[in-house]
Amino acid sequence: MAPPLPMPTPLLANLNPEQLEAVTLPHGSALVLAGAGSGKTRVLTTRIAWLLATGQASPLSVLAVTFTNKAAREMLLRLSTLTPMSVRGMWIGTFHGLCNRMLRAHHRDANLPQLFGILDTADQLSLIKRMYKAHNLDDDRFPPKQLGWFIASAKDAGLRPSAVEAGDEFARRQVEHYALYEAMCQREGVVDFAELLLRSYELLAGNEPIRKHYQRRFSHLLVDEFQDTNVLQYRWLQMLAGTDAAVFAVGDDDQSIYAFRGANAANMQHFERDFGSPTRPVRLIKLEQNYRSHGHILDAANALIRHNRSRLGKELWTSEGKGEPVRAFAAPSDLDEAAFVVDAVKGLTDEGIPLSEVALLYRSNAQSRVLEHALFNAGLPYRVYGGMRFFERAEVKHALAYLRLVASPDDEGAFLRVVNFPPRGIGARSLEQLQDVARGRGTTLWQAACSGAVGGKAGSSLAAFVGVIEKLRSETLALTLPEAVAHVIEGSGLLAHFRAEKDGEDRVDNLEELVNAAQGFVREAEIASDAPMLTDRVDADLPAPTDGQDEGATDPLAAFLAHAALEAGETQEAEGKPALQLMTVHSAKGLEFHTVFVTGLEEGLFPHENSLNEADGPEEERRLMYVALTRARRKLYLTHAQTRMLHGQTRYHVASRFFDEIPRELVQWLSPQRKRFGSIDVDESEWGAIRAAPQATAAAPSWRVGQNVRHAKFGTGVIVDAEGRGSDARVQVNFRESGLKWLALEYAKLDPA
DNA sequence: CAGCGTGCACTTTTT
DNA sequence: GTGCACGCTG
């Protein structure tokens, strides 16, 4: 195949040599190691546009997959400015969105009802609780959350219950619960997030005509944030790629921060083995030129990440100047830290830096409180990311539950959510009766309710509820989606209920907003891109994948419900007002700001204490820190506090090891000078030293974090953390043999080693 | 059946 | 410190 000549169009203008190489690679697979701020989205979208412009691909043959809806939208938007061709027909979306699309088209082959519902995490949790109740499983050894996590992990690894290895009794029980859960989902016609992936994978793996169809269709697969793929997503890609499709994967192993939810950065190491073949050689390209940050910031980030051992290797550079030094501040307490931040932010405002260009980052959400408090008192506007989202609000969930019942009445989660909301006299008693009937007859709650098997007052209340749903269904049949949504929130009594409630205005507003959301959804579907499900048809060349029935356009209501589950909506209304941005480091990934404050840089917090036991924990924490540093364009502040209220208790922390991993000459300390002890920075003040009995005896040894110690029973180790003072003082020691232990200094016999 | 009180837990999170 | 979950009482 003769590679077409690159086009002399503006498409390729202003690309650096590496970007240009990546964009114009001849047919084959490519792994693009794209550092932070190296223009990876640009490369990805320009690659697609180039493939289209040179006729190597048609829109129909392109599949591009991302992790978040935001990234998918961004890709679509940029692509539409880069190519005159219609983006219609391309499969661009999240893994979950694309799998949903595939499963809707082949629901029979996937053994799902046409209008299958999608459970979000909260729905999944409540299903597990119902399952425990129904089977009288009230064992505290299996908390619902933990089982949910277990099931999701198993599915993410591609494992059905029969394939999970259960070594002990405990694991065996968990697998049994997993199997029960699956049966229950299947009976109710619902799938959870992980199931979308697994079902889609199994559909491809087990159905040759369908697999061949998609393999023939998609000659180009493009993957964003490849380092975040889990085992199942990787195998899904392999299945789709077959032996011929060109896979263009963009990722950064140094920004892999989602191992805790199954992301497997090792996928990058296997790429060459698994996506190469004689017809598609594998190329590796590194994008190391950074267009975001000034030199000192990059130097700091490079130095930090060099402390990780498992890396593919990459070093960011910039053609810009060194810029300002990284600034650091040691605060006596979390309150002082917040006060420092407030002061510094005021200074930035005076310099004319917009508040929306300043981010306050922290390791865990609990840390936002103190910062918010200080900002509020200072009258600085701010916005906190990561709270309740639109489609997760209770009143919206209720409205969606009515819609779900209208679409598929056997959805028991939806049934139980609204059967007595607004209250209609169907209490726990009546429901128990109903559940007994359903169980006895092997039917769903809905069928039992329809049968009239529950008599008396409860029976007539249930009949009334069934009547409401039936009425809503028949009345919305001929309506457009937004009309139907409006009708359901009205006819269900939800609107009246919240109007009557004293502080119900916000909820009423949200219900009305749901109608707008439906309107917006339909509008987007009409102009093509984001909601392809409405127009998606099984391609004509697919050899009889189903029993011959027309699988045409999916029901708009089902599509909207899928949209609500797959895209939870913005955290808050994006108010136009300029505001400081507060978020965890995780949610800052992919963003950039003029100025970044990384707060709470303390041993135990960041790196988080829980991570120290985990296999790849410390390195993942360091990658997280790397992500934090590389968010900053011009100014970077690193702060830590020596005392902090945590879980309602005052805790004492030493500065994070990450301070030591950034060369001193890059850092300007704004707080009094510090001294170094061992490998850990410790302040000279009284905070740094931990004494078992201060001033009690001259001989009382003093301990420092980072110090090597010996214990009669546990052997040798190193102090990694400390808390409490005087007779309460405790240190955490990482013992070579026995791992992490907290020891009370008053009792434990510790010797310097 | 709803309202309130006590008790526990609590890293990170998208879909 | 706060939110959530469960259980008791009116």
**Confidence at residue A156, expressed as pLDDT on a 0 to 100 scale:** 92
Of residues A528 and A376, the one with the higher pLDDT is: A376
User: Which nt sits closest to A647, CA to C1'?
Assistant: C1
For residue A679, pLDDT over 50 is answered with: no
- Of the listed A41, A215, A289, A349, which one is catalytic? A41
For residue A204, pLDDT over 70 is answered with: yes
Query: Residue A81 in contact with residue A241, Cβ under 8 Å?
Result: no
Of residues A252 and A717, the one with the higher pLDDT is: A252
Summarize pLDDT for A146-178 with one digit per residue, the tens.
888 889 999 999 999 999 888 888 888 889 889
| Distance CA A647 to C1' C1 in A | 6
Which CA distances in Å does A316 have to A82, A291, A524, A629? 27, 10, 39, 12
- C-alpha torsion A147→A153→A155→A156, nearest 10: 160
Nucleic strand C near CB of residue A429 (< 7 Å): no
Summarize pLDDT for A722-748 with one digit per residue, the tens.
655 445 566 667 666 665 666 667 667
How far does CA A465 lie from the centroid of its chain? Answer: 37
Which residue has its C-alpha nearest to nucleotide B10's C1'? A647
Summarize pLDDT for A293-337 with one digit per residue, the tens.
999 999 999 999 999 988 888 899 999 889 899 999 999 889 999
Alpha helix segments (H runs only) across A567-706: 585-588, 609-613, 617-629
**Confidence at residue A494, expressed as pLDDT on a 0 to 100 scale:** 87
**Confidence at residue A588, expressed as pLDDT on a 0 to 100 scale:** 92
Lowest mean pLDDT among A567-571, A659-663, A704-708, A740-744: A704-708
Nucleic strand B near CB of residue A428 (< 7 Å): yes
Who contacts A544 (Cβ-Cβ below 8 Å, separation ≥6)?
A209
A224 given a catalytic annotation: yes
**Confidence at residue A540, expressed as pLDDT on a 0 to 100 scale:** 42
A40 given a catalytic annotation: yes
The H or E element spanning position A30 is strand A29-34
Please tell me whether residue A633 adopts helix, strand or coil conformation. strand
Nucleic strand B near CB of residue A366 (< 7 Å): yes
Query: Residue A265 in contact with residue A620, Cβ under 8 Å?
Result: no
pLDDT mean over A279-302: 93
Please tell me whether residue A262 adopts helix, strand or coil conformation. coil
Nucleic strand C near CB of residue A137 (< 7 Å): no
Q: Which of A419-428, A451-460, A544-553 has the highest mean pLDDT?
A: A419-428
| Distance CA A30 to C1' B5 in A | 61
**Residue in the block written with tokens 């060194």:** A322
Who contacts A124 (Cβ-Cβ below 8 Å, separation ≥6)?
A148, A151, A192, A193
For residue A690, pLDDT over 80 is answered with: no
- Of the listed A19, A255, A433, A642, which one is catalytic? A255
Query: Residue A656 in contact with residue A680, Cβ under 8 Å?
Result: no
pLDDT mean over A470-474: 92
Summarize pLDDT for A604-647 with one digit per residue, the tens.
899 998 888 778 888 999 999 999 999 999 999 999 998 888 88
pLDDT mean over A125-146: 80
| Distance CA A746 to C1' B13 in A | 40
> How many whole angstroms separate alpha carbon A310 and alpha carbon A147?
31
Nucleic strand C near CB of residue A471 (< 7 Å): no
Query: Residue A251 in contact with residue A268, Cβ under 8 Å?
Result: yes
**pLDDT classification of A387: cutoffs 50, 70, 90:** confident
Nucleic strand C near CB of residue A335 (< 7 Å): no
Which residue type occupies A37?
G
**Confidence at residue A444, expressed as pLDDT on a 0 to 100 scale:** 85
Lowest mean pLDDT among A60-64, A110-114, A245-249, A276-280: A276-280
Residues in A 606-635 whose C-beta is less than 7 A from nucleic strand B are 608, 610-611, 614
User: Which nt sits closest to A566, CA to C1'?
Assistant: B15
**Confidence at residue A165, expressed as pLDDT on a 0 to 100 scale:** 87
| Distance CA A423 to C1' B1 in A | 10
**pLDDT classification of A676: cutoffs 50, 70, 90:** very low
> How many whole angstroms separate alpha carbon A276 and alpha carbon A282?
5
A121 given a catalytic annotation: no
For residue A547, pLDDT over 50 is answered with: no
Alpha helix segments (H runs only) across A245-363: 266-275, 295-305, 334-350
Of residues A432 and A93, the one with the higher pLDDT is: A93
Six-digit token string for A511 = 């219900």
The H or E element spanning position A583 is strand A580-584
For residue A529, pLDDT over 60 is answered with: no
Largest interatomic CA distance in chain A:
89
- Of the listed A19, A24, A40, A337, which one is catalytic? A40
**Confidence at residue A524, expressed as pLDDT on a 0 to 100 scale:** 78
User: Which nt sits closest to A366, CA to C1'?
Assistant: B10
Which CA distances in Å does A38 have to A3, A53, A289, A298, A601? 26, 24, 6, 12, 26
> How many whole angstroms separate alpha carbon A168 and alpha carbon A721?
34
pLDDT mean over A353-380: 92
